[in-house]
Structure 1
Amino acid sequence: MNMSTSHFPKQAPLPLSDSADGISSPLSPARTTTPKSSALSNRITTVISASFADLEIRDTLETLDARGLQNNAEIRRNLRQDAQKELIDCNGGIVGDFGVVAEQLKRIGATVTSLQRSHAEIRAHITASAQEAKPMLEEIATLTSQRSQIEIKQQLLNAFNAHFLLPEADLTTLTSIVEPISDHFFYVIARMKQIHHDSQVLLGSENQRLGLEILEQSSKQLNAAYQKLYRWIQREFKTLDLENPQLSAAIRRSLRVLAERPTLFQNCLDYLAESREHVLSNVFYGALTGASSDSGHTMSTKAIELSAHDPLRYVGDMLAWAHSATVSEREALEVLFVSDGDEMAANIRAGIASEPWNRDDEATFDGKKALNLLIDRDLSGVVRQLRQRIEQVVHSHEDPALAYKISNLITFYTSIFGSLLGPQSAVLDTLQLISESTLRQFRNTMRDHVASLNTDFSLAPSGLSMPDFLTDALETLKVLMKSYDTSISPTASTQRREEGFKPILDEALEPFLAGCENLVKGLQQPRKAIFWLNCLLGTKAVLRDYGFTAGKIAHLDETARENTEALVKYMHTWFLLESGLQPLLATMLQLPDGLSTNISADIRSADIYQLDSLSAIAHQLDAFLPGAMEDARSVLSKLDDKALMRSLCEKAADMFCEEFERIEEVISRLDEEYRSGEGDEEVIGVREAFPRTSHEVRVLLS
């Protein structure tokens, strides 16, 4: 029976009760003892007051309409009975359905009871089984806990092995010489260094044995890896393009890693230096001779020994080749030590800890300094050959100027090499030794030359001009000064320039001036002063072209000034003697007080101031004055500097005029005294005997 089916049809409206008019409302209340008229009126009132919009009325009407009933008296009388009957039928159907449900509920209750009995039995069995399985479950829990611990330990072991142990393939890459040096090798060695570092942490644990074993094993493997890297770098250096060495990225990286072993790193640098020294020496020999020292093959460029016939050019070409080789070597190796210098320095500092014997050494690494030292060692063979050949050239030519030029050329290149290699360089030391050797050769040659001229130092030239040995020495000095001027730095101070050239003057000029001074000792004035002035002025003319000889020129000027004063004094005396005024002046100078207010009796009584003597002196003076300057110049005609000669004569003439003024003053006073006394005729004779005035003398000597 379908319980969901409704057995209650829609409630039909109750049949109308009989009333006086035969009509009764289904909604009317039950009859009471109320009078019939009142009941009917109430019913009618209720019906009339009922609203057809009420849901119950509307549903009732829809039910009646659905049954299709006719609105007749029969149907209206039986409507209530039909509705009640239908209601009773529905209630009976419901009761029947509930009986079926009750039967089914009884069967379900029996089933539930059976299930409860089965559940109790099963529960009893389960309790018994649980008692029996309890020891087994406890054992299983223990095993599970142990398994969990084992799994955790296995994970730790795997992590430990992955961190502290390398695969066999990686170990082969790290230590086998068959495996190439690649990026994987550097990865593995970095991994091994990390393992070596981390293994030190295990030393602080309770089980130090494991840490010691891993530390020892990693140390051995790292040492083997560094040895492999060391041998590989040496092989790469052997096959390097030595004509144009370019360090590949792999070599640069290898050297950075190898820097953690300073000893191996230094050995590699030593090997590279030896290899480059051999190569550069061979190439330099080939550049000199045109053939290689190893194989004897002809070089592509023309040999320096065949192209440089001049000794100075030969030395210059050798130094230029060495400079070019230094620049090329620096460019090739600079990328190694400059760009990677900081990383190498850090690795070397880290490597000091692994080599305790190196802790006393300098732990800092300067890339530029290391580069300079390496290039310095590379050029050692070239510098040795250079020194031998330069010394051979210098000793085979007995030319002091050549030796000095070579010394200056070497000094010039020394400054260039100093800027390339730094102040502390064996190349610079060797070049300085070569320069000092050439300077010694220069000094020895000059001294030998001076010693060979001893015979020329005994006799001055008849023309009082500069001797030939001084002329030759000045020509050599010009060459030396020009060479020095081109070799010294333009920024050098004047004092430094003078100090640098002073030793050259001491060797190339002083001995010859000393020889001239020795010649002067055998001469008399004015030849002595004229010869000495010619030598000094000729020397000054050569020295004044260069500023670094100012000190020497000042010394020569002082000596020349002394000789010009001596010549002026000599010519002054010559003017007095030739003019005849010397006796007059000598007598006047003998007075104890010079010229007093009154002419002393000594002058008046002196024979030289008598009329005859004054007249004779006046005639001699008149004969001297017209050609006095020409005669004076002829006395100094051997002086090479004609302007100086005229100046000396003019100074002597001025001094003569000043002396004449003094003599004229004496004559004038004598004339005044004679005029004031007796003997007027004699007084007139004094001025007539000596009529010249100082103005006339100056005009004649101008």
Structure 2
Amino acid sequence: MPHTMASYFPETLASPTLDNEDVFSPITPSTPGPVKSSALQTRITTVLSASYADLEIRDALAILDTRGLQNTAETRRKLRLDAQQDLVQCNAEIVRDFGQVAQQLNRIGAAIANLNRTCADLRKCVGVAQRHTAPMLQEGASILADKQQVETKQQLLDAFHAHFVVSDTDLAVLTSTAEPVNDDFFRVLDRVKKIHQDSHVLLGAENQRLGLEILEQSSKQLNAAFQKLYRWIQREFKSLDLENPQISARIRRALRVLAERPSMFEGCLDYFAEARERVLSNHFYAALTGAPVDQHHPVMGQAIELSAHDPLRYVSDMLAWAHSATVSEREALEALFISEGNEIGRSMRSGMESEPWTRRDGEEDTPPIFDGRKSLNHLVERDLADVFRQLKQRTEQVIQSHEDATLSYKIANLVLFYCNIFSNLLGSDSELLATLRPLSDTAMRSFRATMRDQIASLQVEATLATADLAPPDFLLEALETLQVLMKSYDTSVVSSDRAARSEGFQPILEAALDPFLAGCENMTQRLRAPNDHIFALNCLLVTRDTLQQYPFADRSEDLRPRIEQHEADLMRATHAWFSEQSGLKSLTDVVAVPDDLASFYTDSKLLVSVAQRLDAFLPTATEDARAFLAQLEEKGLMRRVVEVAAERFCEDFEEVEGWVLAADRARGKLREEDGGREEEDGEEVWLRDLFPRTGDEIRVLLS
């Protein structure tokens, strides 16, 4: 199109009828020529000022371009005519088309008029029909509304029957004793309990009669169901084998359900406890005698009465059987009555809320929380009550028929040991412990009575010590008995507190040891030194060594002052023996100060005698001293006593030696003052020459 326009306008401008001068020459209004020139110029200006971006011009040029016209003078002259001719043709075609449309509209108008007439006729027919059918339609609507209401009531009735009415089949499953207690029973029971609970909702309606009737009916059904369950559990308890680990799950479920009726549940527990008490009592008797209860429960092993010849073993086997039975019973009942979530406790609590008349006097309005473990322990105690009564009777017979202090004490400790075990198993407030603990008291009373009899006979035996000053037989026997008691106490007491263990054993020492030590003390008073000290030390040392075997019985701190006192007295006696045997005592008895030795210069017989006796004594002095203490059984103590006594003797000798030297020095000074005058009798006498031994020599000889 740009090319066409470029070729079109130059040709127009270059037309022979116009030139550039004519086009752009000034217009002069006074002559006709300039006016024409001005119109052309205006036209040209208009054309030149047209914008090629105008859509209409672009469309027009595009149309011309599609027509395939050539830019010639002929074409330019015919262009308007051709355009007008095309326009006329187009208008003619449009007129023809609109003529056809008008014809169609005429036909449509006729059809519409025909339809309007038909509709009018129909409206008349409908009006007549409506007038005739209006009563029937109203009656039909009323019938439909009544039908809808009946259907709604029927749905409510069906829902009511489905929820609140129990079928005869389900009712027979729930209440008939001929039907078993199985899953169907518990299913129907749960449904009836739901009906009973939901019937309270009906009591809030205006008409409460239906709610009351359903509540009464469901209550009767529940009571009959619980009665059936109660009797069924009692029948099952008769044949229930707790030793079988596969206890019926139905019984466990039945017990949890029956707990909703606390009175029935407690009645079942009472029945169960009585039955289990008889069974365990029979089994205990069978274990004692070996006679089986029935062919299904043979006695395993030999009978206790036949195998346990030792009385302590007999009591121990009975206690061991009771402990084993308690553990087994508790484990079996735990599997039967204890479950996760304390289901029985929740059932008991809800049952107490629904049966407030079952509460005891003084209980609060809020039912207490059911303690499953405590109730389980109480049930175990009831099951084993008769077993423990038999055990108590037989143990008391053993205690009374054997007057043996050791046996009585061992039985007491054994019973205390099992008391601790049962306390950990069933609790410290267990009724079984109230039956078992008195056995320990009975055994201890028998022990103390036997010890009193032995002490009474001690007054005859504890007269004089033997010649070897050894501990008396009654003390040695008492210490042997005490060793057995200490061993029994050590194995039976479970406390790890040393102070508590020592305190617990002190009464035994007071009963089994102190009277015998007192008897030895009385015998000591009848002896002379040093035998009394040797005898006392022999008794005290063997007692101390025996008690030191067990820390809880150690009395070293209590015996030490008495031992040290006798040891000191024995050292003094041995020191006196050294002075007596060496002759030094005869010299010290007459000499108190060095000046007392002056008489020996004229009469030296005593000093010479002491010197000779000392020389004879010193070579065997140590051996003789040990022979003097030979009856002292503790050789280490004997050696220490001899050494201390010898040291004291050496100190005494050194003191006498000092007196002799002091006397000779005093005499020497006196002679110097006299001018060295000789003795009238001839030879001069010096005490040192008469008493030549030195302290060092004495220590060497006595070392």
Q: Which TM-score band applies after superposition, normalised by the shorter structure?
A: 0.7 to 0.9
2:558 paired residue among 555, 560, 569: 555
3-state DSSP of counterpart to 1:353: helix
Give the structure 1 partner of residue 618 of structure 2: 625
For residues 663 and 211 of structure 1, do their structure 2 counterparts lie closer, same or farther at Cα, with a shift above 3 Å needed?
farther
Give the structure 2 partner of residue 481 of structure 1: 486
1:461 paired residue among 463, 466, 470: 466
* CA apart distance, 1:149: 3.1
**Residue 431 of structure 2 corresponds to residue 426 of structure 1:** yes
3-state DSSP of counterpart to 2:227: helix
Deviates most, 280-289 or 404-413 = 404-413
* CA apart distance, 1:140: 4.8
3-state DSSP of counterpart to 2:283: helix
- Give the distance between the partners of 2:426 and 2:126, measured in 1 at CA: 101
3-state DSSP of counterpart to 1:309: coil
Give the structure 1 partner of residue 690 of structure 2: 689
Give the structure 2 partner of residue 81 of structure 1: none
**Residue 660 of structure 2 corresponds to residue 667 of structure 1:** yes
Query: Number of residues paired by the alignment?
Result: 592
Q: 1:436-470: CA deviations, max 9, x gaps?
A: 22122112112112222321022322321111111
Opposite residue 176 of structure 1, the aligned amino acid is S
Matches within 5 A, 1:169-248: 169-241=169-241, 244=244, 246-248=246-248
Contact residue 242 and residue 332 of structure 2 kept, 8 A: no
Matches within 5 A, 1:12-411: 122=125, 125-126=128-129, 128-129=131-132, 134=135, 137-138=137-138, 140-241=140-241, 244=244, 246-292=246-292, 299=299, 301-340=301-340, 342-359=342-359, 360=363, 363-411=368-416
**Residue 543 of structure 2 corresponds to residue 533 of structure 1:** no
* TM-score normalised to structure 2 length: 0.76
- Give the distance between the partners of 1:182 and 1:116, measured in 2 at CA: 76
Contact residue 230 and residue 264 of structure 2 kept, 8 A: yes
Opposite residue 493 of structure 1, the aligned amino acid is D
**Residue 546 of structure 2 corresponds to residue 542 of structure 1:** yes
Give the structure 2 partner of residue 616 of structure 1: 609
Opposite residue 442 of structure 1, the aligned amino acid is F
For residues 353 and 677 of structure 1, do their structure 2 counterparts lie closer, same or farther at Cα, with a shift above 3 Å needed?
same
* CA apart distance, 1:169: 2.3
Give the structure 2 partner of residue 647 of structure 1: 640
Q: 1:397-432: CA deviations, max 9, x gaps?
A: 122112222222223333333333333322333232
For residues 291 and 507 of structure 1, do their structure 2 counterparts lie closer, same or farther at Cα, with a shift above 3 Å needed?
same
For residues 663 and 610 of structure 1, do their structure 2 counterparts lie closer, same or farther at Cα, with a shift above 3 Å needed?
farther
2:629 paired residue among 636, 641, 649: 636
- Give the distance between the partners of 1:631 and 1:348, measured in 2 at CA: 91
- Give the distance between the partners of 2:590 and 2:348, measured in 1 at CA: 99
1:412 paired residue among 408, 417, 429: 417
**Residue 508 of structure 2 corresponds to residue 507 of structure 1:** no
Give the structure 1 partner of residue 568 of structure 2: 565
1:450 paired residue among 433, 455, 459: 455
For residues 184 and 463 of structure 1, do their structure 2 counterparts lie closer, same or farther at Cα, with a shift above 3 Å needed?
same
- Give the distance between the partners of 1:167 and 1:630, measured in 2 at CA: 115
- Give the distance between the partners of 2:619 and 2:127, measured in 1 at CA: 175
* CA apart distance, 1:387: 1.3
* TM-score normalised to structure 1 length: 0.76
Contact residue 591 and residue 597 of structure 2 kept, 8 A: no
Opposite residue 686 of structure 2, the aligned amino acid is G
Q: 1:85-107: CA deviations, max 9, x gaps?
A: xxxxxxxxxxxxx9xxx9xx99x
**Residue 580 of structure 2 corresponds to residue 577 of structure 1:** yes
- Give the distance between the partners of 1:623 and 1:110, measured in 2 at CA: 182
Contact residue 479 and residue 543 of structure 2 kept, 8 A: yes
- Give the distance between the partners of 2:426 and 2:512, measured in 1 at CA: 34
Give the structure 1 partner of residue 50 of structure 2: none
Deviates most, 576-585 or 444-453 = 576-585
Contact residue 611 and residue 685 of structure 1 kept, 8 A: no
Contact residue 262 and residue 352 of structure 1 kept, 8 A: yes
Opposite residue 356 of structure 1, the aligned amino acid is P
Opposite residue 567 of structure 1, the aligned amino acid is L
Contact residue 675 and residue 684 of structure 1 kept, 8 A: no
- Give the distance between the partners of 1:533 and 1:110, measured in 2 at CA: 155
Deviates most, 439-448 or 138-147 = 138-147
- Give the distance between the partners of 1:297 and 1:229, measured in 2 at CA: 29
* CA apart distance, 1:569: 1.0
For residues 578 and 253 of structure 1, do their structure 2 counterparts lie closer, same or farther at Cα, with a shift above 3 Å needed?
same
For residues 355 and 670 of structure 1, do their structure 2 counterparts lie closer, same or farther at Cα, with a shift above 3 Å needed?
farther
For residues 109 and 452 of structure 1, do their structure 2 counterparts lie closer, same or farther at Cα, with a shift above 3 Å needed?
closer
- Give the distance between the partners of 2:557 and 2:116, measured in 1 at CA: 145
For residues 205 and 454 of structure 1, do their structure 2 counterparts lie closer, same or farther at Cα, with a shift above 3 Å needed?
same
- Give the distance between the partners of 2:119 and 2:408, measured in 1 at CA: 133
* CA apart distance, 1:246: 4.5
- Give the distance between the partners of 1:699 and 1:366, measured in 2 at CA: 86
Q: 1:464-520: CA deviations, max 9, x gaps?
A: 11111112212222222222222233x612222222222222222222111111211
* CA apart distance, 1:529: 0.9
RMSD: 3.6
For residues 121 and 410 of structure 1, do their structure 2 counterparts lie closer, same or farther at Cα, with a shift above 3 Å needed?
closer
Contact residue 341 and residue 365 of structure 1 kept, 8 A: no
- Give the distance between the partners of 1:120 and 1:538, measured in 2 at CA: 141
Deviates most, 227-236 or 424-433 = 424-433
Deviates most, 176-185 or 299-308 = 299-308
- Give the distance between the partners of 2:123 and 2:690, measured in 1 at CA: 190
Opposite residue 701 of structure 2, the aligned amino acid is L
- Give the distance between the partners of 1:352 and 1:471, measured in 2 at CA: 67
* CA apart distance, 1:586: 5.4
Contact residue 408 and residue 487 of structure 1 kept, 8 A: yes
- Give the distance between the partners of 2:641 and 2:426, measured in 1 at CA: 59
3-state DSSP of counterpart to 2:342: helix
For residues 117 and 325 of structure 1, do their structure 2 counterparts lie closer, same or farther at Cα, with a shift above 3 Å needed?
closer
- Give the distance between the partners of 1:300 and 1:642, measured in 2 at CA: 57
For residues 700 and 118 of structure 1, do their structure 2 counterparts lie closer, same or farther at Cα, with a shift above 3 Å needed?
closer
- Give the distance between the partners of 1:120 and 1:677, measured in 2 at CA: 189
Q: 1:620-676: CA deviations, max 9, x gaps?
A: 322322232232222222222233222212211111112222222222222222222
Opposite residue 650 of structure 1, the aligned amino acid is E
- Give the distance between the partners of 2:119 and 2:686, measured in 1 at CA: 195
Q: 1:520-563: CA deviations, max 9, x gaps?
A: 1211211111111111122223222222222x233223322211
For residues 142 and 586 of structure 1, do their structure 2 counterparts lie closer, same or farther at Cα, with a shift above 3 Å needed?
farther
Opposite residue 314 of structure 2, the aligned amino acid is Y
Contact residue 348 and residue 363 of structure 1 kept, 8 A: no
* CA apart distance, 1:286: 0.9
